[in-house]
Amino acid sequence: MSKVYTDKNNLQVLYEDNHLIIVNKRVGDIVQGDKTGDKPLAEIVKEFIKYKYNKPGNVYLGVVHRLDRPTSGIVIFAKTSKALSRLNRAFAEKEVKKTYWAIVKAKPPKK
């Protein structure tokens, strides 16, 4: 199976309004830049917004939370500093419920 690389043309947007954008992160994508130099999802989302709305100049995008590279799932980005502040507070105060699912190859051994 070949890897699908995320770009602004195949970004899976699950929800978007004036304050936030929620996307599906594929396995292998990074949310923020690292030493590998791979293009982070945050930059791809900025490109998507810039292209979709024909925005001149820089696009503001705040990273609310991250998922590790080998993990897929939903990632929330803030489109305004006010939204970022409120979402950061909600995560810090545990107002956001997170659910993690794992796919395993075999049944785990009983302890």
Per-residue pLDDT of the chain (111 residues; tens, 9 = 90+): 557 778 888 999 999 999 999 999 999 999 998 888 889 999 999 999 999 999 999 999 999 999 999 999 999 999 999 999 999 999 999 999 999 898 889 988 888
3-state secondary structure of 45: helix
In the three-class reduction of DSSP (H, G, I as helix; E, B as strand; rest coil), residue 41 is classed as: helix
β-sheet bridge partners, residue 24: 74
**For residue 1, what pLDDT is reported?**
52
Going from the N-terminus, what domains does the chain have, and what CATH number goes with each? Answer: 13-92 (3.30.70.580)
Give the residue numbers annotated as catalytic, written as ranges: 68
What is the pLDDT, as a whole number, of residue 2? 59
Amino acid 109: pLDDT: 87
DSSP letter at 50 equals H
Closest of 69, 63, 26 to residue 46, by C-alpha: 63
What is the reported pTM?
Answer: 0.87
Rounded Cα–Cα distance for residues 8 and 109 (Å): 42
